[in-house]
Amino acid sequence: MSDAIRAVILGIIEGVTEFLPVSSTGHLLLAERFFHLGEGDFWDSFTVLIQLGAILAIVGLYFRKLWEVVIGLFTGDVYARRFVIGVLVAFLPAVIVGLVAGKYIKSVLFNPWVVCFTLIVGGAVLLWVDKLNLKPREYDATKFPLLMYLYIGIAQCVAMIPGVSRSGASIVAAMLLGADKRAAAEFSFFLAIPTMIGAFAYDFYKSRAEMTMDHMNVVAIGFVVSFITAIIVVKTFLTYVTRHGFVLFAWWRVIVGTLGLIALAIGR
């Protein structure tokens, strides 16, 4: 299989799964394990670098709202300033945990057995949350209380375990703390911006010496594919989850995790 085709497939996986509560990291690890996609140091960096394409999709879709926040910072808008502080507060726990335990997590927990188990457990959690009779109090992701932002950021740290899902952890936390489904999903998108840009910058700096022109071309292909796919998925996801909840994604997780465990058990 050519590198270009691998880049397209991995770009689609990244774009589809990054903002759904199904774990993009988990799906990429399983794709590597069972279909031999993206094996090797370069491909490990590739899956991080193409996340920027998915992030730019969010920036494009929410450009007007994000621009209003930027303008509000310079015009004294209290809500704009509190939102930016809230995103930074939510982002900080992941930075701390990543610096303290990042190497341990990657060396011990990044394996397909862990991914499959956490996919199933995360699916059960989504089913449980979806059946709760929650009474939303917050309908605007840019106006959550500061403590709520912090608690969501702490919950996001659990997603450093592959298969948990960054968006899933932050969405579940936001809903349990009083956000409606749409606002919870939208904040998970906004929180992804600094989280994934930080991961991109770190990984690009770390692997910059190994990047050849051929590597850059392959990354560019994955970047564009993940960007286009993410735009389509985010628009569809928000509409779907507002009307139908998370049951589909919960069962997706359970089925993928179960099939993965069966394949591992029989030695595939």
- Predicted local confidence at residue 41, as pLDDT: 67
CA 27 from chain center: how many Å? 11
With a cut of 80, say whether residue 268 has pLDDT above it: no
CA distances from 228 to 16, 135, 166, 199 (A): 10, 35, 20, 20
Give the Cα separation of 11 and 226 in Å (integer).
4
- Predicted local confidence at residue 38, as pLDDT: 64
With a cut of 90, say whether residue 208 has pLDDT above it: no
pTM above 0.85, yes or no: yes
With a cut of 80, say whether residue 202 has pLDDT above it: no
**What tokens appear for 81 in the block?**
């300033």
Over its C-alpha atoms, the chain yields an Rg (Å, rounded) of 18
With a cut of 90, say whether residue 234 has pLDDT above it: yes
Q: What is the mean pLDDT of residues 142-167?
A: 94
Mean pLDDT is lowest, of 40-49, 159-168, 189-198, 230-239, for 40-49
